[in-house]
Amino acid sequence: MVKIPTVTSWQDLPVGCVVPGGTMIINKTGAWKVFRPVVDHKKCTLCMLCWIYCPDSSVVLAEGKIEFDYDHCKGCGICANECPAKAIRMELEV
């Protein structure tokens, strides 16, 4: 899992401000979104354009279906805008 140094005083600060890489994954940037993408699996042709165009790696291919990681998706709407099959629409996050 993600190892993040716990720090309580100057003594346990990692020298030179060196930390494990890629730990921002724990950031739930999903809270930023006002709209969320929703996919219509019947229309989706699995062309994966939404996947390659997502700035936040929040399109997930699971068991042959496109899903979204709503914990991280910021709701930018690029996937909906780019989907050739118009299979993704943006809904107001309640």
Partner 1 sequence: METEKLTFTGNESAALGAKLARVEVVATYPITPQSTIVENLSRFIANGELKAEIINAESEHAAISICIGASLSGARTFTATASQGLVLMHEMLHWAAGARTPIVMAVTNRALCVPWSLHADFQDAISQRDTGWIQFYCENNQEVLDTIIQAYKISEDKRVLLPSMVSLEGFILTHTVERVDVPKQKDVDEFLPPYKNEFFYIDPENPLAENVVVLPDWYMEYRYQQEVAMQNAKEVIDKVSKEYFDKIGRNWGGLIEAYMMEDAEVAVVTMGTIAGTARVAVREMRKKSGKKVGLIKVRCFRPFPVEEFKKFSSLKALAVIDRSYSFGCGGPLCTEVKSAFYNTEEKPLILGVVAGLGGRDVNVGDIINVLEKTIEVSKTGKVERETIWLNLKGEQLR
Partner 2 sequence: MPSKPISIKDFPKDEFMVKGHTACPGCGMAIAVRQALKILGKNTVLAIPAGCIAGGSTTGPFPLSGFALPTVYCSFDETAAFLAGIETALKVKGLKEKFNVVGIAGDGGTADIGLQCLSGAVERGHKIIYICYDNEAYMNTGIQRSGTTPYGAWTTTTPVGSLRMFKQEPKKDMPQIMIAHKIPYVATASPAFPSDLAGKIKRAMEIGGPAYIHIHTPCPTGWRFPPEKTIEVARLAVLSGMWILYEVENGVFKLNVKISKRKPVKEYLSIQGRFRHLTAEDLEKIQKEVDENCKRVGM
Partner 3 sequence: MTYFRQLILFGRGGMGVVTAAEILAEAVAQEGKYGQSLPFFGMERRGAPVRSFVRISSEPIWVRSEVTEPDYVIVVDQSLLTLLDVTRGLKTDGMLIVNSSEKPQILKEKLQLKFRVATVNATKIALEEIKVPIASTAMLGAFAKVTNEISLESIRKAVLTRLSGEIGQKNIRAIERAYKEVLF
Q: Does 10 bind partner 1 (CB under 8 A)?
A: yes
If we measure between CA atoms, which residue out of 87, 83, 71 comes closest to residue 33? Answer: 71
d(CA 25, CA 93): 22
Residue with smaller CB distance to partner 3, 34 or 60: 34
Buried b (16+ CB within 10 A) or exposed e, 60-74: eeeeeebebeeebbb
Q: Read out DSSP for 44-76?
A: -----HHHHH-TT--EEEETTEEEE-TTT----
Q: Enumerate residues 11-30 that contact partner 3 by CB under 8 A.
A: 29
The option from partner 2, partner 1, partner 3, none interacting with 54 (CB < 5 to 8 A, set by class) reads: partner 2
The option from partner 3, partner 2, partner 1, none interacting with 51 (CB < 5 to 8 A, set by class) reads: partner 2
Residues 40-59 as x/- pattern, contact with partner 2 by CB under 8 A: -------xxx-xxxxxxxx-
Residues of this chain that bind partner 1 (CB under 8 A): 7, 9-11, 13-22
